[in-house]
């Protein structure tokens, strides 16, 4: 099952979905807004692949931000690869 197979209710729970990333990117391109384009954060492809594998193994979707942050905390990504690498997420505080 892929993200496309999820019903709309399930897709809304997934934060920072691919559509938002692409939408932000293409809007910045269409507007010729180089500042907005620089601010668009596109996670490394490994984040997408590992998140998909996590879903296949567990049946649970997690956000790209959570997967990216988890990979960073595990030493799999450098700080320069992560959006706001020093900001703790609410799930880390539990």
Q: What is the pLDDT of residue 7?
A: 41
CA distance 43 to 84: 12
Q: Does residue 34 sit within a domain?
A: yes
Does residue 9 register a pLDDT over 70?
A: no
Please tell me the total count of domains within the chain: 1
Would residue 1 count as lying in a domain? Answer: no
Q: What is the pLDDT of residues 28-62, one digit of tens each?
A: 889 988 888 888 888 999 999 999 999 999 999 99
Residue 69 · residue 82 · CB < 8 Å: yes
Determine the structural domain holding residue 44 and report its residue range. Answer: 7-81
pLDDT tops 70 at residue 10 = no
Q: Tell me whether residue 48 is in a domain.
A: yes
In this prediction the pTM is: 0.69
Residue 63 belongs to some domain of the structure: yes
Query: Does residue 89 lie within any of the structural domains?
Result: no
């Amino acid at each position: 099952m892929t993200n496309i197979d999820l019903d709309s209710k399930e897709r809304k729970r997934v934060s920072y979905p691919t559509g938002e990333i692409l939408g932000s990117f293409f809007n910045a391109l269409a507007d010729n807004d180089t500042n907005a384009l620089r601010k668009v954060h596109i996670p490394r492809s490994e984040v997408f692949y590992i998140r998909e594998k996590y879903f296949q193994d567990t049946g649970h979707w997690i956000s790209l931000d959570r997967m990216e942050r988890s990979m960073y905390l595990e030493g799999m990504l450098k700080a320069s690869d992560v959006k706001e690498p020093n900001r703790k997420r609410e799930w880390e505080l539990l």
